[in-house]
Chain A
Amino acid sequence: MSQWFVSHLILIQGTFISLLLALSIQVPLRAGVFSFAGIGSYALGAYTAAILTIRLQVAPVIAIGAGVLLAAVVGYLLALLVARLSGLYLGMATIAFALFLGVAATNGGELTGGPTGLFGAISTLTTAHVIAVTLVVVLLLAAGERGAYGRRVDAVREDPQLAVTLGIDVNRVRRRVFVVSGALGATAGGMYTLLRTTVSPETIGFHLVVTALTMIIVGGSLSWAGAAIGALIFTWLPTVLQFVGEWQLLVYGLLVTAAAVYVPGGILGLLQSGWRRYQRSRRPAVRPGAAAAAAGEHEAPLATLGTPGEVRS
């Protein structure tokens, strides 16, 4: 076991860091906010941790914590800035934010080390710390998905306008997910940088957007568990797929396309509907309408609608 642990250390670390990064996209997506600000926050966290560790030799908790705080504040301000955007436009604006930070890092002179980046961010951060932090984060997020708060976020995602008419402050929920997303991204970036002791513009580039989005599309966007499934798959897939060699990217592409087309809820959605079906099969004839209802999600209401509305208008 420990032998395996040591020889796969990089992948194990990668899994947890990827999970945090994927969560920084999943959290806003769960509230219906299509934002990649978490990727920009990853960059903020990465560079803040590196700079503080190299220049001031602060403890990792401070180096990472400062980045998290900074990214949370930036996330809040960003939320105010893009308050009127949604959907694709919001996605584009937040990708621009991430790319802008990459450019800033490249041209940051001595502070960011320019195109070559920063080296020698040596700290006492260990893999155990990373795992512990990730577990705490997951526990908090899982709790947030349950109960009244979770339903409120569901409401904001499903129909923000309707949520407003129920007295839910949709803009506040949106601002909050930007803050949480920023904190998550920065945690991932800060910890990864201190594990590797180095950061460069290359490591905070566009590929992170692709990685995080891929994990969530395949894993499922409605829960932390979807992000976890995605992070597991895409961190370990390269080792599994070594035999296909250079065709790896093709396999990735097919996987993502298949998930997007055939399982919009991701693997998590697939597991959940399978579980529900299993439970129904164990106790049949719960309600006479249930079987018919399960056959076609939206057939029942449509069937009783009738058409008088069209006659009138």
Chain B
Amino acid sequence: MLEIADLHVRYATAEAVRGVSLGAEPGRVTLVLGANGAGKTSTLRAAAGLVPVHAGHVRLEGRDITRRAPHKVVRDGMVLVPEGRRVFAPLTVEENLVLGGYTASRDRSRQVLARVYEMFPILRERRGGPAGLLSGGEQQMLAFGRALMSSPRVILLDEPSMGLAPTMVESVLGAVRDMADAGIAVLLVEQNADMGMEVADSVVAMARGEVVFAGAAAEARSNASVLRAFLGEAALVG
């Protein structure tokens, strides 16, 4: 579905991503772990076309989308939910969602909106109010719902649980699982390894811009000590 091959991302002074290869499959959650600065976010953003790819390839359903304009990637069926629960605060919840369906037809958009409301009933309840007044967890749900509005086949989630209260983290990650169960290929970047592994099917660990571990979630769980050594203690403290 999504295939990232030998990806390199360079910023002015540093090489953030050095030859990373990983993928995402329909119906599965691929968890990307790593400490701060490991290159997780850069990998995601490069895949979505938001930062320049220096070398390597990004393929979506077999099609090369490397260096494609970021707004076109959405049309291709892949959408990124950036970190920090960004919503359009002055717009209403429903206006935020409708913006997410910008690339879809009006009829399609209406259908998907109904499904999103089914999935996140709280959004239906708050649909007429400004998005800026939602709680942190609700804003994350809104960000998910908005991303789903384009009917993506691949969804990239950048630290959706960051800064949320523990109970909220649980429901956010539950929603991540639901999205995968609906047949979407999910690439999930998390620092919260223990929580992330509960919903993941496979795990990729990154350190200093490289992949240091890749395997099934069960394997990762049984090798927690190995992972810990790769990632550093900090990364696994939920």
Contact = CB atoms under 8 A, between A and B. Distances in A.
A152 B192 CA distance: 34
Contacts of B50: 161, 164-165
A140 interface: no
Contacts of B90: 154, 158
Given A155-B99, A312-B237, A166 B74 contact: yes
A304 B89 contact: no
Give chain A's interface secondary structure class: helix
B215 interface: no
B75 A167 contact: yes
B134 interface: yes
A155 B70 CA distance: 16
A306 interface: yes
Interface stretch (A35-43, A51-59, A294-302): A294-302
Interface string B67-96: 001111011000111100010111100010
Contact of A298 (B82, B132, B137, B162): B132
Given A162-B86, A305-B136, A167 B103 contact: yes
A154 B88 contact: yes
A157 to B, nearest CB: 9
A301 B99 contact: no
Interface in A127-184: 148, 151-152, 154-155, 158-159, 161-170
Interface size on B, as a range, is 35 or more
A308 B164 contact: yes
Interface string B130-151: 0011111101000000100010
Interface of B: 36, 48, 50, 69-72, 74-75, 79-82, 86, 88-91, 95, 98-100, 102-103, 129, 132-137, 139, 146, 150, 162-166, 168-169, 191-192, 234, 237-238
25 contacts: A148-B102, A152-B102, A155-B99, A158-B88, A159-B88, A161-B50, A161-B82, A165-B50, A165-B80, A165-B81, A166-B99, A166-B102, A168-B99, A170-B71, A289-B133, A304-B136, A304-B137, A304-B168, A305-B165, A306-B136, A306-B165, A308-B166, A308-B169, A309-B163, A312-B238
